């Protein structure tokens, strides 16, 4: 049972979700190959060589894969697919964009966003914004799976020197091109990998008021998130969004400020270890899942919290 | 230019879905059904492109039970020119839906296909990308901006950490994210007009594609519940609990 894990990286560093995806692969089998496709990926490869649990790295270093275009990467993975019975990718925007394209080319019904491996062909995954958990059995000969990173602890960096094999690039699909990228620059940790997340909702009232969260986030080394309501209202960009259609987080501490607690938001954060809710409405559903609730106006509670940290 | 908008009938997003007592599936008895919210955004984008004079026709298509005609009528009221229902009694998986829609694409030859990034029932996020693969069309998922010119479409996508802009050759596939637009509501006159618009029904068997399921749903359960904790009286108490009880801050 050989498993291919598609690494997510930015040509310089491996993305954290790759480590969780390898962890899920280890629950399926032990013959795990990691594909690193990109451009000038030497530093990614040397990082990947340290990963616990992988037996081989396939490297395809070609400009064609520099920007992870799904049209190009899917052709490459399809060309390698015959050696593998499983192909896994993280359920990030990278993996969600890419893997279904490979699945359809291989005539496989992909299993998205798994949260557990029950057996070699059976997996659990959330449906309806996490209102229910489905147990799904795949009858396809090859399984294509995206992995919810918060459900699997990342593998460690304790391997000595995983062998690397180069593979040839595929012919270019040449139907799409990369134009530009605008990545938010922040000194704070990434939302999906932060140990502490502080999120604001509609109760924040404006984008400007998010500075109240920023200051606390800086003291705690936390990432800042938001509910869909706050994104819809234009307070913050979409990449802040935590929830069913945004990012899934499970930090040690999640602080929800001015967030009522719609099911779609809970879907993105309810696996956090400790949840704090600050809301002036004592009937807000967020208090039904919080470990510590503070019924208070956030505009008085946040400055006070800031001063006491 | 012709735009095809595949859309899905799903449980309304306000409904709290629960498993059936025997845990064989979710309980969909007597729940409100709607157009999947991301599909509404897709339709809105197509209608706006037409209103801006950049497309001649918007066609809505769905794959599902006869009742899905309700959602197609909604689409017609929101601005689609005509609609196609590919009828099937079974609940198809994303791969099968993509195969069915690829056949519709072969018949209709649209220049642009706009879909929701995911349906809020299965949360799979697959159909658009699979359709792209089956047709060998380029794709831009999670779109927050769509700009057209003669031979290509330039799309800004929401990705982890920011925005990415891609240029796709037409015909192309775009899947929508939340911020692409804010869908309109159907006006009463438009709802009346929609009743007279063309809605074609064909059976999935006419298209000759393999729609047999590849997966089995073994059970559906509630997620582990999370108990409510305590209400603290003050910020001081909160900080104390986080430091000394939960030990999550230093």
> How far is the alpha carbon of A269 from chain B, nearest alpha carbon, in Å?
12
> Are A49 and A22 spatial neighbours (Cβ–Cβ below 8 Å)?
no
Pairing state between β A223-226 and B198-203: unpaired
Pick from B122, B123, B90, B126: nearest CA to B6: B126
pLDDT at A213: 96
Percent of chain A scoring above 90 in pLDDT: 91
A135/B221 Cβ within 8 A: yes
Encode pLDDT of A82-129 as tens digits. Answer: 999 999 999 999 999 999 999 999 999 999 999 999 999 999 999 999
What 3-state DSSP class applies to B249?
A: coil
Residue B207 has pLDDT above 80, yes or no: yes
**CB-based contacts of B107, cutoff 8 Å, min separation 6:** none
Per DSSP bridges, beta strands A132-138 and B215-221 are antiparallel
Chain A touched by B241 (CB under 8 Å): yes
Examine the pLDDT at A159 and tell me if it is beyond 90.
no
From the list A214, A149, A222, A264, the residue with the least C-alpha distance to B12 is: A264
- B162-169, strands of its sheet edge to edge: A176-183, B162-169, B152-159, B139-148, B172-176, B112-116, B2-6, B57-64, B82-87, B198-203
Its pTM stands at 0.93
Q: Is a pLDDT exceeding 90 seen at residue A268?
A: yes
Q: What is the mean pLDDT of the segment spanning A244-252?
A: 91
Of A158, A10, A168, A16, the C-alpha closest to A80 is: A168
Q: Residues with Cβ < 8 Å from A180, sequence gap 6 or more?
A: B164, B165
Express each pLDDT in B43-76 by its tens digit.
Answer: 999 999 999 999 999 999 999 999 999 999 999 9
Residue A86: how many other CB atoms lie within 10 Å: 22
What's the farthest any 2 CA atoms get from each other in chain A? 60
Contact (CB<8Å) A196/B249: yes
pLDDT-based confidence at residue B244 (cuts at 50, 70, 90): very high
Return the axis-axis angle of helices A211-220 and A298-308, rounded to nearest 10°.
30
H/E stretch holding B94: helix B94-108
- The model's confidence at residue A227, banded by pLDDT at 50, 70 and 90, is very high
Tens digit of each residue's pLDDT (9 = 90 or more) over B135-169: 999 999 999 999 999 899 999 999 988 899 999 99
Interface of B with A in 25-84 (CB under 8 A): 26, 38
């Amino acid at each position: 049972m050989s498993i291919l894990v598609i690494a997510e990286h930015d040509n310089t560093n491996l993305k954290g979700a790759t480590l969780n995806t390898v962890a899920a692969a280890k629950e399926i089998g032990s013959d795990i190959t990691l594909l690193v496709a990109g451009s000038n990926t030497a530093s990614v490869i040397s990082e990947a060589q340290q990963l616990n649990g992988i037996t081989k790295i396939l490297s395809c270093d070609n400009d064609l894969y520099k920007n992870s275009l799904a049209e190009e990467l899917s052709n490459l993975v399809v060309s390698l697919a015959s050696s593998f019975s499983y192909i896994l990718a993280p359920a990030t925007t990278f993996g969600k964009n890419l893997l279904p394209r490979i699945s359809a080319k291989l005539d496989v019904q992909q299993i998205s966003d798994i949260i557990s491996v029950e057996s070699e062909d059976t997996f659990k995954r959330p449906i309806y914004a996490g209102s229910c958990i489905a147990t799904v059995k795949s009858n396809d000969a090859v399984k294509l799976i995206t992995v919810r990173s918060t459900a699997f602890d990342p593998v460690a960096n304790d391997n000595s020197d995983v062998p690397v094999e180069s593979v040839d690039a595929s012919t270019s699909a040449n139907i799409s091109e990369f134009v530009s990228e605008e990545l938010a620059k922040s000194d704070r940790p990434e939302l999906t990998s932060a140990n502490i997340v502080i999120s604001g909702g509609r109760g924040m009232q404006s984008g400007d008021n998010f500075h109240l969260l920023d200051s606390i986030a800086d003291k705690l080394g936390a990432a800042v998130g938001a509910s869909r309501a706050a994104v819809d209202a234009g307070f913050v960009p979409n990449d802040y969004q935590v929830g069913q259609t945004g990012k899934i987080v499970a930090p040690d501490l999640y602080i929800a400020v001015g967030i009522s607690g719609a099911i779609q938001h809970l879907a993105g954060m309810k696996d956090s270890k400790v949840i704090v809710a600050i809301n002036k409405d004592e009937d807000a559903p967020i208090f039904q899942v919080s470990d510590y609730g503070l019924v208070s106006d956030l505009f008085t509670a946040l400055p006070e919290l800031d001063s006491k940290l | 230019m012709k735009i095809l908008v595949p859309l899905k009938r799903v449980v309304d997003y306000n409904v709290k879905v629960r498993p059936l007592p025997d845990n064989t599936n979710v309980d969909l008895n007597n729940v409100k059904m709607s157009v999947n919210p991301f599909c509404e955004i897709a339709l809105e984008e197509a209608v706006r492109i037409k209103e801006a004079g950049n497309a001649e026709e918007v066609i809505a298509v769905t794959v599902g039970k006869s009742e899905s005609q309700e959602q197609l009528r909604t689409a017609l009221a929101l601005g689609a020119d005509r609609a196609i229902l590919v009828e099937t009694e079974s609940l198809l998986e994303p791969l099968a839906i993509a195969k069915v829609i690829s056949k519709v694409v072969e018949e209709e030859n649209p220049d642009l296909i706009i879909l929701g990034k995911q349906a809020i029932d299965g949360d799979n996020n697959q159909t658009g990308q699979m359709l792209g693969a089956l047709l060998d069309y380029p794709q831009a998922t999670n779109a927050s901006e769509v700009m057209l010119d003669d031979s290509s479409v330039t799309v800004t996508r929401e990705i982890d950490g920011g925005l990415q802009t891609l240029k796709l050759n037409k015909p192309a596939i775009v899947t929508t994210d939340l911020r692409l637009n804010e869908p309109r509501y159907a006006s009463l006159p438009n709802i009346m007009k929609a009743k007279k618009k063309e809605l074609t029904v064909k059976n999935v068997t006419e298209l000759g594609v393999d729609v047999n399921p590849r997966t089995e749903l073994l059970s559906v359960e509630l997620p582990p519940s999370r108990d409510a904790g305590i209400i603290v009286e003050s910020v001081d108490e909160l900080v104390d609990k986080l430091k000394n009880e939960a030990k999550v801050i230093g």
